[in-house]
Amino acid sequence: MNVAEFEALRVFTSEYLQFPPFVSAFNEIDRLVQLYRQTSVAQHLLVTGESGTGKTTLCKALVERYPRATLPERDVVPVLVVPIPPAATIASVAEAMLARLGDPAPTTGTTSAKTARAARLSRACGVELLMFDEANHIQDRGQSPTQYMVGDWLKGLMDDVQVPTVLLGLPRVEDLLRVNEQLRRRFTRRLQMALGQDPDNSIETQCLRLFTSLTPSLPVPFNKGVTTWSELAYRLHAATDGRVAYVKSLLIGAIRLVFEREVSEITLAELETAFTAEIWPQGVGALNPFCPNFDFRRLDRAGEPFERGALVDRPSRRRAHAA
């Protein structure tokens, strides 16, 4: 990768995109913190979205809004993000929380000692917002009692620490709340990260907006050619399922082509190649949303990238492993 390409990618990926569900979720969580600061009332929120809709990025944005500080006598951690480990147990979640709080020996002690320490440290560090990311990992053990126990543990911890708590995860986290009444009562407020909740604009239109908000950061102009805006919107939605991660991957693939092929503009042909390279290797011909003879349908059948409930291996991760 040459310096110019590196710089183009840096510019392209440097800013938070202010797309509507991201902004709503950010503002709502910010409101929870402000409410807590002013009244000590702790309200909670469930944020769901498919993989690549921006949940982890939302956690990062809140950490930046309320950054950590190191005082001479203690660390201040206003926002504590705890990623729930795969196949979560009470011990592993408590350890993850202790590690994030800077506990020097998170694995030491019995489960209840760890839990008590996590609550104590949270108070000592002035935590004002708890964010549990990847909450769907609580369900990875299916119907086993662990799922209930971790849910109950979380409820107990929330009662103990008494700060606003946000649970983030895949849409199936709703099932977890369905079977755990105590948790359900605490998470009556819910938000979805998916595009398509704006009654005034179709999901395709929102997808097109997300795309066009990114095109000014490209190193060369985007040219849609003879394709109409509404057709482009349809193709973009089919290619990305309206998930910010895929809209970005598509354009990152296009940037790579700009440097590889030295093209002076990005057209549907570049997007076609980028879709196959970055999103779905089998997506060629009628299965490629940017191909002239695309099938004009959603790619959500079995084996396709947006199959419902499928665990899609995100392109960015694949490359990170390959590198």
**Interacting residues with Mg ion (CB under 5 A):** 55-56
Q: How far is CA 207 from CA 111, 125, 189, 237, 247, in A?
A: 45, 40, 25, 6, 8
Closest approach of Mg ion to the CB of residue 47, in Å: 11
Largest CA-CA distance found in the chain, in angstroms, rounded:
66
For ligand ADP, which is the closer residue by CB, 24 or 162? 24
For Mg ion, which is the closer residue by CB, 52 or 283? 52
17 binds, among Mg ion, ligand ADP, none (CB under 5 to 8 A by kind): ligand ADP
Closest approach of ligand ADP to the CB of residue 13, in Å: 6
Looking at beta carbons, which residue is closest to Mg ion? Answer: 56
For Mg ion, which is the closer residue by CB, 130 or 238? 130
Secondary structure of residue 77 in the 3-state scheme: coil
> Given the DSSP bridges, would you call strands 45-48 and 69-70 parallel, antiparallel or unpaired?
unpaired
The CA dihedral of 212, 213, 217, 223, to the nearest 10 degrees, is 10
Closest approach of Mg ion to the CB of residue 193, in Å: 10
Token readout for 180 is: 């755990």
For ligand ADP, which is the closer residue by CB, 218 or 263? 218
Closest approach of ligand ADP to the CB of residue 81, in Å: 11
Token readout for 209 is: 């907006």
Closest approach of ligand ADP to the CB of residue 295, in Å: 26
316 binds, among ligand ADP, Mg ion, none (CB under 5 to 8 A by kind): ligand ADP
57 binds, among ligand ADP, Mg ion, none (CB under 5 to 8 A by kind): ligand ADP
Binding site for ligand ADP (CB under 6 A): 16-17, 22, 49, 51-57, 244-245, 248, 316
For ligand ADP, which is the closer residue by CB, 54 or 305? 54
For ligand ADP, which is the closer residue by CB, 16 or 259? 16
259 binds, among Mg ion, ligand ADP, none (CB under 5 to 8 A by kind): none
Token readout for 285 is: 């011909």
* Among candidate residues 235, 219, 136, 216, the one with its CA nearest the CA of residue 176: 136
Token readout for 126 is: 């002035």
182 binds, among ligand ADP, Mg ion, none (CB under 5 to 8 A by kind): none
Amino acid code (one letter) for 147: Q
168 φ, ψ (degrees, to nearest 5):
-120, 140
Closest approach of ligand ADP to the CB of residue 193, in Å: 6
Amino acid code (one letter) for 231: E
Looking at beta carbons, which residue is closest to ligand ADP? Answer: 54
Q: Which helix (H) or strand (E) covers residue 255, if one does?
A: helix 244-261
248 binds, among Mg ion, ligand ADP, none (CB under 5 to 8 A by kind): ligand ADP
90-100 helix and 111-124 helix, angle to the nearest 10 degrees:
30
For Mg ion, which is the closer residue by CB, 54 or 106? 54
Closest approach of ligand ADP to the CB of residue 37, in Å: 25
Q: What DSSP string describes 142-197?
A: TTSHHHHHHHHHHHHHHHHH-S-EEEEE-TTHHHHHHH-HHHHHHT--EEE-SS--
